[in-house]
C-alpha cells in the first residue's frame, strides 16, 4: 500500500487553508491544516509532514519564528513560505534558514505544485544520499 505524501498547511486565513486543502487533495496529496503555529506544534501530526506550507505573518507566533523553532529542534521538514505581503526583509529572513521558496499570494496552482515537487525531489535526493 502506497502512503500518500503529507502536506501540512499553517495559515491563519481559513479560506486559504480550505482552498489549498482542496487543490492538494485533488492531485493526490494527504493534507493537514492548522490555523496557527501553536496549533501545529501541539498536534501529534506535526512531525509527520513531508512538506510544510507556512504563512509568514500570523497572529501570535509567525511563520519565521515557527521555522526557527523547528530548526532548533532539528526538524528536516522542508518549508515553503507563503505570504500576502511582499516585504523583502521578511522574504530574506524566511530564506536565511533552509526554506526553499517564498510564494506571494495570490500564487498560481502551477507555481505551488512546482515548488512542492521541487522540495519533495530535493528531500528524496537527500534521503537516497544517506543510504
Tens-binned pLDDT, residue by residue, of the chain (131 aa)? 677 899 999 999 999 999 999 999 999 999 999 999 999 999 988 788 999 999 999 999 999 899 889 888 888 899 999 988 776 666 565 566 666 688 989 999 999 999 999 999 886 665 555 44
The span from the CA of 85 to the CA of 80, in Å, is 15
Architecture of domain 6-130: 3-Layer(aba) Sandwich (3.40)
Strands 6-10 and 101-104: unpaired
Placement of cell 509527520 in the chain: 48
d(C-alpha 28, C-alpha 5), whole Å: 8
User: What is the torsion angle, in degrees rounded to the nearest 10, for the CA atoms of residue 106, residue 111, residue 115 and residue 117?
Assistant: 130
Note the pTM of the prediction, 2 decimals.
0.87
Amino acid at each position: 500500500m502506497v502512503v500518500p505524501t503529507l502536506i501540512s498547511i499553517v495559515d491563519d486565513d481559513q479560506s486559504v487553508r480550505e482552498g489549498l486543502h482542496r487543490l492538494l487533495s485533488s492531485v493526490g496529496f494527504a493534507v493537514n491544516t492548522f490555523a496557527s503555529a501553536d496549533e501545529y506544534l501541539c498536534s501529534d501530526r506535526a512531525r509527520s509532514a513531508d512538506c510544510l506550507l507556512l504563512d509568514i505573518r500570523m497572529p501570535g507566533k509567525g511563520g519565521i519564528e515557527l521555522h526557527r523553532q523547528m530548526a532548533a529542534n532539528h526538524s528536516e521538514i522542508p518549508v515553503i513560505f507563503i505570504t500576502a505581503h511582499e516585504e523583502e526583509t521578511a522574504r530574506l529572513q524566511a530564506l536565511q534558514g533552509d526554506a526553499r521558496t517564498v510564494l506571494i499570494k495570490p500564487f498560481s496552482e502551477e507555481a505551488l505544485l512546482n515548488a512542492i515537487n521541487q522540495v519533495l525531489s530535493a528531500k528524496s535526493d537527500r534521503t537516497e544520499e544517506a543510504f
